Every structure is written in C-alpha cells, then in structure tokens.
Amino acid sequence: MLKKSFFIPILGAVLCLPAGVALAADAAPAAGQVQNQMMYGSQLMTPKERVEYRAKLRAAKTIQERERIRQEHHEEMMELAKKRGVTLPAVPPVGGAGMGPGRMNGGAGMGGGAAG
C-alpha cells in the first residue's frame, strides 16, 4: 500500500510533463511577436532581415552608432513602405523601445531613479 501511494504522485507528474512542455512552446512565438512589434517596420521584413538588424544593433560599440543604425533602418523602412503602398508611423519607437544590450545602464532599466 505504501508503494502505491508513493508512485501515484510521481506518475501524475510524469504524465503532466508533456503538457507543460507544449504550453512553453506555445509561449515562445508570442514573445517573438511582441519583440517584432517594437521593431520599426518589422511587418515589412523577413525573419532573416529582423535577425540581421538585431545583430547589427547588438554589434554597435556606442550609443551614437546604434542610433545611426536605427536612423538608417528607419529611412529604409519608409522607402520600402512607400514602394509597397503601406503606411508606417512617421516616428520610430523612441530609443529603439528597449532593444540592444546594456539598456539598463542607459537609464532605461529598472532601478531607484532619482530617489534611489
């Protein structure tokens, strides 16, 4: 009797494991979609182009270089939108909407602020 009461919870946990993995797999695309919504003109880009753009931003050595890359990207997306007859907002997200490494040190991250 003791053996049965020990194995039943373990069996239940093992049977629930595939459901948890499936739920986690469903959540991954949603996170990517949110990130793409923050990327100016992402709806006009292929997945490969989005990956390449993110890599360019990450490789930028300075904030100025990153802003130059964003500005060039903005101009390219405006031109592409015009060619395709699509309307994009005139202004891209401010500061890249949190993209790129080290954003917390740039004052855009969590922290105590002026009071901290």
* Confidence band of 74 (pLDDT split at 50, 70, 90): very high
pLDDT reported for residue 89: 84
Q: What is the pLDDT of residue 94?
A: 62
Closest CA to 102 of 51, 77, 65, 74: 65
| CA angle at 68 for the pair 31 and 39, rounded to the nearest 5° | 20
pLDDT at position 105 is 43
Radius of gyration for the chain, computed over Cα atoms and rounded to the nearest angstrom: 22
SS3 90: coil
Instruction: Tell me the average pLDDT across 87-115.
Output: 55
pLDDT per residue as tens digits for the range 25-71: 454 445 445 455 578 899 999 999 999 999 999 999 999 999 999 99
